[in-house]
Amino acid sequence: MPGVPDPAQAVATAARLSVAPMIDWTDRHCRVFHRQLSRNALLYTEMVTAPALVRGGALHLLDFSPEEYPVALQLGGSDPAELAEAARLGAARGYAEINLNVGCPSDRVQSGTFGAVLMRSPDLVARCVAAMREAVEIPVTVKCRIGVEEQEPRAILPEFLSRIREAGADRAIVHARKAWLQGLSPKENRNVPPLDHDLVEEMGAAFPELAISINGGIGTLADAEAFLARGVFGVMIGRAAYQRPWDILAEADARIFGADRPAPDPVEIVAAMRPYLERHVAAGGRPHQVTRHMMGLFAGRPGARAWRRALSELGTRPDAGAESLDVALAAVGAERDAA
């Protein structure tokens, strides 16, 4: 993409702190919002399946705005040739990185032989990585679990990481929990299996060339700083970055990346989002498609409840526009005054 930095350098820097790819959450509107909070953190798409792009021709799923950069495309799939073509399509659109999902435990993903079920097939994952690596010049990475079901993580994870390293993977993001493919819902898989951060840190030391990022159960920016201080290459944060975006991202540029930039005030973020929301509505979009990602902006601050309530009520109205943000801000002020 013209006018953007070298992808390899961009993601190597940005990956110190990244926001996890989350289906139904990290869409393009969410990423524009998160980018107002942090100019440096690496952002990811929701998982896009290779068959949808290659066989279904759903190239609109690759749309993103230059202001989101650096942003990585996460792919789901298990066919090396198909993933290679999907990676080419993503690289042509200007993504900074192509990531292969080997961590999602949902039934829908398993039925397509995507996601965490691939932890059982390291040879296949290696072939997929090699095909993608040959197809594109931008970094190719893998997001995985420490194991699935009866697998012993300390036995299988080093072998898995060794295989993707040999196949040419540039980085790995390891969710520090097993995935249970039967008996637990995707939501339960984010909470029930115990965390093993120590194992991921050990893998980071054992495979320095994979520049491993740690994911899972990391809920504060201070937690991220602690992992980085212990030598972990990068930290990926999921739900906390979505539910409490200001707490995680607003000070990240200064604290994680050393940037000389004061944390933006939540009101400044609202002002920065208003032109984007105006363009979205003018193009026929609904305000709620954007504002739903902004619900947590005032989390933990006076007026947070009024902000959420106002956005919920206004964002779904068919006649609502960008003025929804003004009304919601007024509600925040009123609740603060009352307090």
By the 10 Å C-beta count (0-12 exposed, 13-18 middle, 19+ buried), 231 is classed as: exposed
Assess whether 144 carries a catalytic annotation: no
**Cβ(98)–Cβ(90) under 8 Å?**
yes
Torsion of CA 213, 104, 220, 158, to 10 degrees: -30
Rounded-to-integer distance, Cα 101 and Cα 235, Å: 17
The enclosing H or E element of 162 equals helix 153-167
**Cβ(79)–Cβ(50) under 8 Å?**
yes
User: How many CB atoms are closer than 10 A to CB 93?
Assistant: 13
Q: Kindly give, in sequence order, each residue whose CB lies less than 8 Å from that of residue 335, ignoring residues fewer than 6 positions away.
A: 302, 303, 305, 306
| Of 95, 50, 52, 53, the residue nearest 71 (C-alpha) | 95
Rounded-to-integer distance, Cα 254 and Cα 62, Å: 30
Instruction: Give residue 156's identity as a one-letter amino acid code.
Output: I
Rounded-to-integer distance, Cα 159 and Cα 137, Å: 25
Among 30, 104, 128, 144, which one carries the catalytic annotation?
104
Q: How many angstroms from the chain centroid is the CA of residue 43?
A: 5
- Return the active site residues: 104
